[in-house]
Amino acid sequence: MHGVSDHAEPPSSRATEPYRRPVAAVLFDFHGTLAQVEEAHEWVLAAARECGATLDRIKATSLADRLVTAGRAGGPLPARVPPRLAELWADRDLYEHAHRAAYTGLAETVDAGIEGFAEALYDRVLRPDGWVPYPETRPVLAALREAGVRVGVVSNIGFDVRPLFAAWDLDGLVDAYALSYEVGRCKPDPGIFLRACGMLGVDPEETVMVGDTPADAGAVAAGCAVLVLPAVGPGRRSGLGAVLDLAVRPPTAEG
């Protein structure tokens, strides 16, 4: 045909490749994403031992069920918050004292007959052996570090998780921590995600937030991409490696 070269170049294959946002950083939620609290009955048994009490496994399991329903730090939301604890509960992720007082207060609504038990239960959440990092956590963080992708932890929490990461020898794989009680903002407020990006020196448009709740999806309002994975029990595989497909691995060519 007139005006068309007999030797026209075929359309570039690059034109058919899916567009990928560049990823300079990944933000991770802590609880339910990188680590999970210990099994509830082990939590109760360990706390009882620290108070000098011994529980059989059946009693420990029954007590654990009641305590989880009442409200456990790192566990599901309580079935009911007593009015006397309402203000502390509302502020639990903004102040260390409120976090401790809210959860010890909830534990005290369950009569275990063990002196100091509520405090011992809470103290387990501050200790590395009170948590179980997911199997994928170390390899995923290591792969991101090797690829030059910066890593931040963004958590609604009322205590410092840095000692936990140090005890697990993971602190060298995390570049910044945006913790609600330090930042003064809680997810899903976009401010906490923007603060994390600022700590890492990256643009939100080049950042992926990985979490397990709708609150983590609040990062979208800050301009971040979001990957939400359901939380699983301690020691189980969570599928966290999916973030590497977004941040590290190139798209697979079709055809």
How large is the greatest C-alpha to C-alpha distance in the chain, in angstroms? 94
Helices (H), 31-136: 40-50, 57-70, 86-90, 96-107, 117-125
pLDDT at 1: 47
Query: Could you tell me if 52 and 45 are in contact, meaning their C-beta atoms sit under 8 angstroms apart?
Result: no
pLDDT at 14: 54
Q: 186 falls in which pLDDT band (50, 70, 90)?
A: very high
User: Is 49 found in the same domain as 26?
Assistant: no
What average pLDDT does range 49-56 have in this prediction?
94
Separation between Cα atoms, residue 208 and residue 186, nearest integer Å: 18
Instruction: Choose one of 130, 157, 186: the last residue of a domain.
Output: 130
Tally of CB atoms within 10 A around 88 = 20
User: Is 17 found in the same domain as 65?
Assistant: no
Instruction: Choose one of 91, 107, 130: the last residue of a domain.
Output: 130
What average pLDDT does range 101-106 have in this prediction?
98
**Per-residue pLDDT tens for 106-126?**
999 999 999 999 999 999 999
User: Is 56 found in the same domain as 43?
Assistant: yes
How many alpha carbons fall within 13 Å on the CB side of residue 13? 4
Residue 252 falls inside a structural domain: no
And the tokens for 203?
């643009």
User: Is 25 found in the same domain as 145?
Assistant: yes
User: Is 170 found in the same domain as 235?
Assistant: yes
Separation between Cα atoms, residue 192 and residue 217, nearest integer Å: 12
Instruction: Choose one of 130, 153, 179: the last residue of a domain.
Output: 130
Please check the confidence at residue 56 and state whether its pLDDT lies above 50. yes
- In order of 25, 173, 224, the CA distances from 38 in angstroms are 29, 23, 31
- pTM for the model stands at 0.89
- In order of 10, 11, 125, 128, 214, the CA distances from 100 in angstroms are 66, 62, 10, 17, 24
The helices-and-strands tally (H runs, E runs) of the chain is 10, 7
How many domains does the chain contain in total? 2
Residue 218 CB partners (closer than 8 Å, separation 6+):
187, 188, 189, 190, 193
Separation between Cα atoms, residue 149 and residue 171, nearest integer Å: 15
**Per-residue pLDDT tens for 73-85?**
988 899 899 999 9
Give the range of the structural domain holding residue 158, as residue numbers without chain letter.
13-34+134-247
User: Is 139 found in the same domain as 30?
Assistant: yes
CA dihedral 164, 170, 172, 176 (to 10 degrees): -60
pLDDT at 150: 98
pLDDT at 255: 38
What average pLDDT does range 31-57 have in this prediction?
95
pLDDT at 173: 98
Percent of the chain residues topping a pLDDT of 90: 84
Query: Could you tell me if 33 and 212 are in contact, meaning their C-beta atoms sit under 8 angstroms apart?
Result: yes
pLDDT at 253: 47
Query: Could you tell me if 187 and 157 are in contact, meaning their C-beta atoms sit under 8 angstroms apart?
Result: no
**Per-residue pLDDT tens for 204-233?**
999 999 999 999 999 999 999 999 999 999
Separation between Cα atoms, residue 102 and residue 92, nearest integer Å: 7
Query: How does 218-234 read in b/e, with b if 16+ C-beta sit within 10 Å?
Result: bbeebebbbbbbebeee
